[in-house]
């Protein structure tokens, strides 16, 4: 990916993908640098702000990440969208009631838009609150419904504590990983 960026340094997609590769490699300082580069190129792009938020959070500054995720939610332009990273950060900062409010909004969205895919978002927020039973329930729902980025939740470093749970290998098997 670094070579791809060298060949096409102005590609937002390639630069963003490199930032995510850095996060998967747990190279958070590199991911943060990549996010800053992206934000210079496109300061209001939600995915760039979110990338920076995850990098900061995974470095241990969930309050800083929360500030960025509030901006991601604001830029979504919709009260029921852009809630997954926000709810997860609320959970990580001990603001359980605010995280639960994000869950209620996602459930409202599911009721209003039955075709919306929210189980992965719900799994991430329940993880942020440290409720692994509900986290795994929603991961199972993703697998049953064949929706949501299950691999993201199972492999993204922010969720690595899931790997210690005996249910982890079962959901990996069910999802074909």
Contacts of 65 (CB under 8 A, 6+ apart): 53, 54, 56, 57, 85, 89, 92
Looking at residues 3-22, what average pLDDT do you find? Answer: 95
Domain ranges of the chain: 96-177
**What pLDDT digit, counting tens, does each position of 87-125 carry?**
999 999 999 999 999 999 999 999 999 888 899 999 999
- Rounded to a whole number, what is the distance in angstroms from the first to the last CA of the chain? 23
**What pLDDT digit, counting tens, does each position of 49-72 carry?**
999 999 999 999 999 999 999 999
Task: Look at residue 78 in the predicted model and tell me its pLDDT.
Answer: 95
DSSP string, 16-60: HHHHHHHHHTT-HHHHHHHHHHHHHH-TT-HHHHHHHHHHHHHTT
Burial group, residue 33, by CB count within 10 angstroms (0-12, 13-18, 19+)? middle
Residue 151: band (very low, low, confident or very high) from pLDDT cuts 50, 70, 90? confident
What's the whole-number average pLDDT of the chain?
A: 94
């Amino acid at each position: 990916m670094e070579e791809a960026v060298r060949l096409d340094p102005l590609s937002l997609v390639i630069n963003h993908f490199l930032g995510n590769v850095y996060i998967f490699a747990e190279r958070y300082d590199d991911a943060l640098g990549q996010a800053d580069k992206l934000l210079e190129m496109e300061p209001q792009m939600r995915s760039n702000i979110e990338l920076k938020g995850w990098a900061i959070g995974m470095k241990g500054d969930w309050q800083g990440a929360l500030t960025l995720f509030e901006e991601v939610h604001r830029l979504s332009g919709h009260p029921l969208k852009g809630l997954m990273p926000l709810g997860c950060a609320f959970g990580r900062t001990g603001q359980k009631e605010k995280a639960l409010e994000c869950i209620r909004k996602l459930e409202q969205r599911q009721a209003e838009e039955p075709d919306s895919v929210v189980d992965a978002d719900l799994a991430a927020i329940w993880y942020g609150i440290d409720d692994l039973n509900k986290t795994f329930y929603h991961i199972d729902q993703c697998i049953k419904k064949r929706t949501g980025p299950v691999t993201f939740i199972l492999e993204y470093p922010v969720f690595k504590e899931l790997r210690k749970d005996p249910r982890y290998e079962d959901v990996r098997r069910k999802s074909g990983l």
